[in-house]
Structures are given as C-alpha cells and as structure tokens.
Structure 1
C-alpha cells in the first residue's frame, strides 16, 4: 500500500481591517501562468510517486489531450498522466470534489480510510471507475488541501487517489458536469467533500484564517467561480507582487498560495479582506465584481 500526504492547502479567510498607505498599481496579465513551485515539480521525482500542484490543469499548462481530458479510447497511460481535483458544486451537493471534466467524484462506505483500502474491484470497478494516476504523474488541486490528498495501491497495481484517506471514484452513468446520479446508490456511495466526508448538501462553514500562512508572491485569478477556467469564455491569469497590484477585469475565484489582502477598489482602496488560501467564490466574501486590487506583503 502506498500513501502520501503533503502540506495543507485549505480554503481559509478572515476580515482585514488595517488601512494601507503608499499603494502603487500595475495590471494583471492576460495569459494563464503555472502556479507550481520548483519544490512541487521535484516532488515524487526520486521515487516515482505522483506530484501535487496548486492550481488547475490549464493554469499549469497541462497537455489537454491527456489526463482527465483524454479521449475515451486513449490508452490508460495517456489518461493517467494527470488528474485534477477541484472543489465545486454539483446538483444539490456543495461542496463536492469534481475532476478535470467536471464529473462528480464519490467515496464508498465499504472502503476504509485508516488505512486506505479500496474494496471495489472487478465488476464494481466497471460501474465505479477508480480515479487513478500514473507513477510520476501529476495531480492539480484547487480548493483542496494537499494534506487531504493521498494514494493507495489497488489490487490490480494501479495508484488510486484518496481524499481524506478515502479512495475516490467516478460513476459510469454520470455523463455531464453537474450529474450526481451516483449519490446514495445502495446506501453506500456518496459524493466526496474536499476533506473526505460524505457530501450531503449542507452549506460549508467558513473556517478561520491560518495565522501561520506566509505572504503570497503570486495569485492565480479565475474569471469563473469554482476555479472555472474552461467553460465558455472563462480563463485564468496570474498576478504577482510585491506591493499593491491593480486587477483589470472580473475574477470570481482565486488561488493565492499564501496570505494576500483583497481590496474592493483599484489602488488598494475601499473595503479589504485577507485570504490565506483558495477561494471558490469571492462574491460570497463581499466582492460582487471581484477584487479591484491585491496587496502582496
């Protein structure tokens, strides 16, 4: 059995009340930028384990002909090159984890989380395909803590992803993003939340800010909620510090990778809020048109 945990990445925030002086401005770029660090890129290289990356597959410039977006007839090796896990909503489930195509991911009550063990094999795995990744592959995370993501060796030798220790699966009858046809099947299958619990439709409670979070140096902004940079005209862009940086355009979710202060107006003016990690929907935090500027440092 193989399992790996790394440092936390949780959706945390708290109100910021200190006014800032001496704010200078610059504008956000228009092209997506990778959010991974050299440490993340090197992770797993020595032992062949998959590596965890902050941000979406697209913002990390993953090959969109492979991984979660590979054609159905693609070889297993091509499909297993990368997986995206994204905190989102699907049907009445909010939050729930979805993959790079937006398909709902599930957990199975007959599995175990401590230790992680999949008990869905054979015909079960045809109905409930396990979410697997190649050794040395990549896992992209938005809205999910790295500490809650791991891997378990299946009976057939494949590496299956776990969330909160629970092996995760797709449901063969789910065809479109937002489908939740697997919810409650047999009284044992449930959508999985970003921390591994059963997704039962209850609204999430916002946690407190992480006081130990260091300052962010780079923030990836998504024009769609739930880190959506793939549907319609949605896209992601990168903004870097230091100091006050103006945001041009409307961006509704973000991945900061540290502590950053959001301001409602350009020039770091108006109302402010400190966030320390991924935010699925800034409108819920009092920014109906997204932040007007960010302060790094």
Structure 2
C-alpha cells in the first residue's frame, strides 16, 4: 500500500502562520478592515467634494454645468455646479448659480435629515440642482461645511446648503430674477447659511482672522459678490508669501485661512484680517477696494 505522507508539526505551524499573515491578522486578535471617515460635505448621500472659488477661477468648462446650453445632455449639465453668495432683486444675501440665477429652498423638504420632496411635475417647474457623483461643486461665500448632497427619489444627487435641497425656478430667465420668492408661501430664495432669503436678517460679517491658520493663497475679484464674469470684471490668485501688490482694486475674495488685506499698495493704509470669504469689502472700511494683501 502506498504510504501516506506524514507532515512534521513544525511545518504545519509555519504554513498556518503564513496564511494568517497573508490575511492581515496578528497573533491573538483579528483586526477589522478600516473604514474611510465620512466626508464633511456629505448630507445624506456620498457626493463630490466642494472646491473653493467660482467656476471660472477653477477653469471649468463653460459649455457644461450651470452654463450649459438648454438642450445639453444631463451628463453635461451635471459636470459642475456653482454656489455663489450674491444679491438678486431685493434679496441680499441669496445664493445664485454659475449663470447668475437665483437658487431656492422648499418648506416641504427637510434639512435634518435632508430630504427632497419636490418630484414629478413639481421638479419640472422647480428643477433640482443636481450634480454627478464625479462632478464638482464650486463655492464662494458659502461655507464648505454647509455644502452637501442628498439622494433624490430618482437616484440623482441634489445639492444641499445646510441640509436644505436647492432648486431653480423656470420662470427666472436672467440674473436678478426672483419670481419664485414666496410662491405658495413655501418657496424662498436660499441664503448662504441655508435660511430663507428676505427674512430681514443682515448678511453675516466675515469672521476675524485672529487665531486662524495663515492662508497660503487668496483669490480676489474686481466685482462684488465674487463677480469675475460681468463686463470687465476678473479674478486673480495670489500665492506668494509676504506683501503682494495688486493690479487694480478688488472688492471680494475667497480664502482658506487668515489673510491680511490693505487699502493701499505696499501693505499700507487701512488693514483688516479675514479668515472667511468676503463678498464685499466695502462694509469692512474699504470703499475703494483692496490694493495689496499679506500672506504668511
């Protein structure tokens, strides 16, 4: 009869140790696989991470996203979304999109947890602001932590501000239109903090930069409300440490940390330290705009 092979005990133990090692375990306890931490931009569904600045400063395709043609495909329109704190009609502040159109919130939705209830014919009149899972959300004047997405009944990701799903209104056809304000007593422009626009509350002032980490770059806009597309308005990015003179006067800025702004070239004149986006530097005492900045 053929003899059965007898394996030494030491060999069997060695093979077992190798198998355990390959499985990623250590002697004594099995370690669970680590899970990625949830993104602060999630608001009910996994979505794209927001990016500071406007669509133009981020060099987004202007034939896609908010500025895509009306007959463009859904995939093209959902490549990017822009959220910008601004004014429209009597609403100040209110969030507008990359085409300058007013964005709204619906009282029948909920913010905690986020839930979009405008579907079917409602969503035809009030198109939800949706973005592809791999798309981009640009923001200026809205806090990054307040931006998220929620999964709609049709499976699409709708952008949220402070948990509130946001929409457009089909009767608004040009920048400044606010024909959706107050419709049915349930539709209102949405503020950068997710509240109802037109409530009479003053726009929040940017926080002082005291104690904040110094910013390594700042984007400045010649137009108030982060306007880098109307007329001759434009934006410029400064990323050099120290004092930086600007070519012209700038009235808005986006920053990811503490930035010192000055009213005159050479970091002279009136100064202020800001740590958040500023839609209009005039109330801070800069009626003629910012003309130099200090980083670091």
TM-score normalised by structure 1 residue count: 0.83
8 Å Cα contact 2:242-2:294 kept in structure 1 = yes
- C-alpha distance 256-148 of structure 1, shift in aligned 2 (>3 A): same
Tell me which stretches of 4 or more aligned residues in structure 1 moved more than 4 Å. none
**Helix, strand or coil: the match of 2:50?**
strand
Structure 1 counterpart of 2:65? 67
**Greater shift after overlay, 183-192 or 204-213?**
204-213
Query: Where in structure 2 are there 5+ consecutive unaligned residues?
Result: 1-37
Contact 2:259 2:273 in 1 (8 A): yes
- Please tell me whether the aligned partners of residues 4 and 150 of structure 1 are also in contact (alpha carbons under 8 angstroms): no
In 2, Cα distance between equivalents of 1:207 and 1:278:
7
Correspondence for 1:87: 85
Offset at residue 168 of structure 1 (A): 0.4
Q: 284-293 or 140-149: which moved more?
A: 284-293
Alignment match, 1:250: 249
Q: Distance in 2 between matches of 1:130 and 1:143?
A: 21
Residues 231-266 of structure 1 deviation map (CA, whole Å, 9 limit, x = unaligned): 111111111221111112121111122111111111
3-state secondary structure, aligned to 1:292: strand
Partner of 1:232: 231
Contact 2:207–2:274, Cα closer than 8 Å, also in 1: no
Unaligned runs of 5+ in 1: 8-46
Q: What SS does the corresponding residue of 1:261 show, helix, strand or coil? A: strand
Task: Using the TM superposition, give the Cα deviation of residue 201 of structure 1 relative to its aligned residue in structure 2, in angstroms.
Answer: 5.0
What is the distance in 2 between the residues matched to 1:273 and 1:170? 36
1:1-297 matches, cutoff 5 A: 5-6=40-41, 49-200=47-198, 202=200, 203-206=202-205, 208-209=207-208, 211-297=210-296
Distance 1:210 1:270, change over 3 A: closer
Q: Determine helix, strand or coil for the equivalent of 1:199.
A: coil
Q: CA deviation at 1:207?
A: 5.2
Aligned-pair Cα RMSD in Å? 1.7
Distance in 1 of aligned mates of 2:174 and 2:224: 18
Alpha carbons of structure 1 residues 219 and 207: separation in structure 2 relative to 1, 3 Å? closer
Relative distance call for 1:49 and 1:6 in structure 2 (3 A) is closer
Q: CA deviation at 1:117?
A: 0.5
Indicate conservation of the 8 Å contact 1:87/1:194, yes or no. yes
1:172-217 alpha-carbon deviations (Å, 9 max, x no partner): 1000101000000000000001011101152214254254421011
CA–CA distance in structure 2, aligned partners of residues 263 and 207 of structure 1? 16
Which structure has the greater CA radius of gyration? Answer: 2
Matched residue SS, 2:248 = coil
Instruction: Tell me the CA shift for residue 48 of structure 1.
Output: 7.4
Tell which has more relative contact order, 1 or 2 (C-alpha 8 A, sep 6+). Answer: 1
How far apart, CA to CA, are the structure 1 residues paired with 2:39 and 2:81? 16
The answer to whether the 8 Å contact 1:51/1:136 transfers is no
